[in-house]
Each structure stands twice: as structure tokens, then as C-alpha cells.
Chain A
């Protein structure tokens, strides 16, 4: 099966410091690639290279390639169109200063959907998928920035889903969410996998084990190893991988 998302010798430098060092791996269509590793190891940077939000960091220098369905992202002429194909959920929740409804309806409206019934349907579906609907259905006109941290995080997820993305990137999406809700979202993600490829950056090794088809372990800007989830947890090639996944350091 051809890879949907590929990293080829991807190196990112912030000034002189290497944030990612020759990363090569790939994710097949409709799979979950779980990326684990200690803080500051370069996981978030990796996600930013996919939708080129790395461009906002002026000191960042990117070498190597990131390919989506074989096409190199930096050679794509329209960066905005690229970003619309990729849903991105940041670790810190960011409610745009719009109502809950408008937060989710933003992207669909931008795509030219203005029919009220159709928008209502999209907003409800995305909010249900992010397990937020029951908490906000009676106050959709509330400003998104007024929700609690965990709710804003799920709002960010709903917003990412509203793009109907082909690749969904989640950067520690469950940081401010309680375990029960997290499990519900994980169920939804497992279902969404039929429609999209998911890149899941997480600090919770058990979440990677539950969700990942493949698991990649990044440490100190290097890809230590990556492979099938079972093999990574049960028979890792490198000793350090086993120690990290078993929670012996981190």
C-alpha cells in the first residue's frame, strides 16, 4: 500500500540547534501513526512541517521532504489549500474569539457552504465527534474563549474535523481532558480512521498502544525506531525504546 504521508530525511533546525534529525518514516492511508517521546524531542515540530505552520517560525530551517500522497508539501503552490486538507489540534486549546458555532462553522463557510441547515448538521456532527455537543448544545452562541480548558481543546478538535481533513494531526489532545472523555474521543478517532489518516503525538504511552497502528519513538530530535505497535511494545529493537515505553524514563 502506498504511503499517504511520508517523511524523507526530514531535518529541522532552529538556528544552530537541530530540532529534528533526518527523520524518515511514513503512514499508510487510514491508519494511526502514534508518535511518542520525551518533552522537547521534536514531536510538535514534526507536525508543524506537515501543514507548514512551521513557516511561522522565522528561524526554522527545513531540509528533506514531507510528502502527502507523493506530493512534496513545500512545492505546493497554495499553502492555504494545503492547510485545509490537514486538521491540526494544538496541545494548548485555542478557541477563536468567535461563538462556539462560528468556531466550527468557520472552515465550512470558507469552503462556500452557507446553507443554514447544512451548517447546523456539520456543526452538530463535529461537536458530537469531539464529545462536546452535550455540554454546549444549549449555548452555541457563547464565545469559544469562554469555555473551560478541556472544552476548548475539544472545540479545537471539532474545528479540525470541520475541515473534513484527509490527515488529522493531534498534538497531545487529551492534556486537559478527563480520562472518561478521552476514552470517548479515542473511540471516535478509531471510527474516523476509516475516513482519514491520523497522526497522534502523545505523552501517554498507553494511549499510543491503544490507538496506534504504528508507533514511532522520537528522542532528542532523532527517530530512535518505529514499527508495528505490538512489536514496539513487546520486542523493541533498541533497549532505550523498551525502557521509555515501559515508563522507566520520560
Chain B
């Protein structure tokens, strides 16, 4: 039956015409939508470039005045007196060492605990336990970093003084512990996701070969979920390097190279945060803080790129 002239008393044909019209519109806007999506995709790259440019411009005024290498220079000195207008010194060695030391301690705590918790939740916990633990992890992830700072100062600090005899409660170890605790929920939730993404058929195949649960985890799940597990750890490292508020409170904020775990240290982030309020807009002091920011940006980019190279390299070799 021809339906080229749909009228009000032939609803199916009319509907067909209406649908065809919508389909026609959808066809015609496909191109603009594609452009829009493309713009959204590229915007992340533009944003990164813009942030980099912004920080670089902020740092620009002081860059020619900084001595980078050599004695008492940017990368070799722990003397940071950027506020001093007449005889400033810019030495970030202590901050860099502090940053990496705190992050390293944090990861020593967070990676084993986080992965173990993820394995427990994904492979061993019953379904009710699993739900409760996941809620707990989410709550843990939502605790503001300033609250962690309070915990560091009022609980961990005094405990460290009591049990280790440390002179100051706020120190490298304290910062590491707090950052570790903060990173755990990130690592757990991402690692658990990637373990859960491993098909059950792998587990069953290994179990059918007579493997027990621990062997399944070690021989099958870890290799299969390697990419996601590494990514979860890198996310933890990223948080540990970039975290500011809790670290500012927990580490003691002293620009020095620590001799022991119980020495106060500072980090690049904490240095910026603690001095930003005093810095006059447009001053060399402000620009020098931007310089620290620039360094931080480069370090985090480098870490992320390394992780990406690792993951890509692994994918090329053929991991799922």
C-alpha cells in the first residue's frame, strides 16, 4: 500500500514520516556533532598546555635571576629565602628530597596495604562484607585532606613522639603515614575494579587445574590485571606527590635534607602553600613560587608519562 501522502487518518504512515524526518535531522547534524565531540576531546590537551603556559608566565620574571646548577643554586641548595628582596636565595633541594621521601614512605605503606585490601574485597570477601567495605573505602576517600592534617598533628604526631622518642611529632614519617592512608582508598578502588574486570573464566580455568585461591591471585589475576594495578599505584603516587594541605601540617615544614625518618621536612607543594599568602602580586617572591609550581608540574608529568610508557609497552607485548 503506497503511503507517500500521509494524512491524519493513517497514523502508522504518519508516524513513519515523522520518524523519517527525525532520522533526516539526525543525519544532517552528524557532522556538527562530530566536530563538537572532537573539540571536547582536544580541549583536555589545550587545557594542559594552557596551565603549563600560565605557570610558565607566572614564573617568567624570576627565571633569569635564578642560578640553576652549581654551588648554592636552585637544584643544589636547601636555602630558600625568596621573601628577602635584597639578597634572595632560591634552593629547592630540600623540598624535592622531602617530596620524594614522603611519597616513598607513603607508597611503602599504601601499595601493599591497598593491593592486599583490593584482593580481599574482590576475591575473598562475601557479598555483604564486600558492600560494606566498599562503602567504607568510599567514605575514606571522601575525607578532606585538612582533616587528615588534624589527625597527623593531634594523633599520629604525639604517638610518634611517645613511641619513637622523636623530638618533633610532625616529620617525614608522619607525613608518609598520613599520605599513605590517604592514598589507600584510591589504590583499593582502582585495583579492585581491575581485578573484578578479569573474566571469571580465568579463575575457573586455573581452579580446574587444581590451583588454590592464593595461586589464582598470584599466577593468574595479577598478570591479567597488571595494567590496572600499575595504574592504581601510579594514581597513588600522583596523589602522594601532589597532596598539599595534610603534608603541610604533617611534615613540620622545614626545608632540609632529612637524616632520619623522624626529621621534619617540607615538600614543593607545602612550600608554595605556606608562602603564597605572604607573596606580593608581581613580586619576584610570587614568581619564585610559580617556579616551584612549574617544577612540580614537570615532575608529575614525567611520572605520568613514565607510567604510560610502561603500560603501553606492556600492552604491546600482548597483555589484555
Bound pair: A and B? yes
Contact of B147 with A by CB under 8 A: no
Across the interface, do B211 and A98 meet the contact criterion of CB distance under 8 Å? no
Instruction: Count residues of B near A (Cβ-Cβ below 8 Å).
Output: 23
Across the interface, do A110 and B318 meet the contact criterion of CB distance under 8 Å? no
Instruction: Count residues of A near B (Cβ-Cβ below 8 Å).
Output: 27
CB-contacts of A47-72 with B (<8 A): 51, 53, 56
Contact of B206 with A by CB under 8 A: yes
Stretch of A15-23, A140-148, A174-182 that contacts chain B: A140-148
Rounded to whole Å, the gap between the CB of A23 and the closest CB of chain B is 21
- The interface residues of chain B, by DSSP majority, are classed as helix
CB-contacts of B194-230 with A (<8 A): 199-212, 215, 219-220, 223-224
Across the interface, do A83 and B318 meet the contact criterion of CB distance under 8 Å? no
Across the interface, do A97 and B320 meet the contact criterion of CB distance under 8 Å? yes
Contact of B319 with A by CB under 8 A: yes
Say which residue of A53, A83, A88, A97 sits within 8 Å of B202 (CB atoms).
Answer: A97
Contact of A156 with B by CB under 8 A: yes
Across the interface, do B202 and A96 meet the contact criterion of CB distance under 8 Å? yes
Closest to A86 in B: B208
Residues on B with C-beta less than 8 A from A142 are 318
Across the interface, do A110 and B205 meet the contact criterion of CB distance under 8 Å? no
Across the interface, do A96 and B220 meet the contact criterion of CB distance under 8 Å? yes
Complex Cα–Cα for A142 and B208 (A): 22
Say which residue of A81, A107, A143, A145 sits within 8 Å of B209 (CB atoms).
Answer: A107
Rounded to whole Å, the gap between the CB of B210 and the closest CB of chain A is 3
Across the interface, do B209 and A83 meet the contact criterion of CB distance under 8 Å? yes
Residues on A with C-beta less than 8 A from B202 are 94, 96-97
Across the interface, do A163 and B210 meet the contact criterion of CB distance under 8 Å? yes
Residues on B with C-beta less than 8 A from A145 are 318, 320
Rounded to whole Å, the gap between the CB of B215 and the closest CB of chain A is 7
Say which residue of B207, B215, B320 sits within 8 Å of A110 (CB atoms).
Answer: B215
Across the interface, do B209 and A159 meet the contact criterion of CB distance under 8 Å? yes
Closest to A106 in B: B209
Contact A143 B201, CB 8 Å, known A83-B207, A97-B220, A163-B210? no
Contact of A8 with B by CB under 8 A: no
Across the interface, do A80 and B318 meet the contact criterion of CB distance under 8 Å? no
Across the interface, do B208 and A53 meet the contact criterion of CB distance under 8 Å? yes
Across the interface, do A92 and B201 meet the contact criterion of CB distance under 8 Å? yes
Contact of A84 with B by CB under 8 A: yes
Closest to B225 in A: A97
Complex Cα–Cα for A98 and B211 (A): 15
Contact A94 B209, CB 8 Å, known A110-B215, A143-B319, A146-B318? no
Complex Cα–Cα for A53 and B216 (A): 14
Residues on A with C-beta less than 8 A from B223 are 97-98
Rounded to whole Å, the gap between the CB of A78 and the closest CB of chain B is 9
Complex Cα–Cα for A92 and B202 (A): 11
Task: Give B residues with C-beta under 8 Å from A.
Answer: 199-212, 215, 219-220, 223-224, 317-320
6 closest A-B pairs by beta carbon, nearest first, are: A84-B210, A97-B224, A94-B205, A83-B210, A143-B318, A88-B208
Task: Give A residues with C-beta under 8 Å from B.
Answer: 51, 53, 56, 80-84, 86, 88, 90, 92, 94, 96-98, 106-107, 110, 142-143, 145-146, 156, 159-160, 163
25 A-B residue pairs with CB within 8 Å: A51-B208, A53-B204, A53-B208, A56-B207, A80-B210, A82-B210, A83-B208, A84-B209, A90-B201, A90-B204, A94-B199, A94-B202, A96-B206, A97-B220, A98-B223, A106-B206, A106-B211, A106-B219, A107-B209, A110-B215, A143-B317, A143-B318, A145-B320, A156-B205, A163-B210
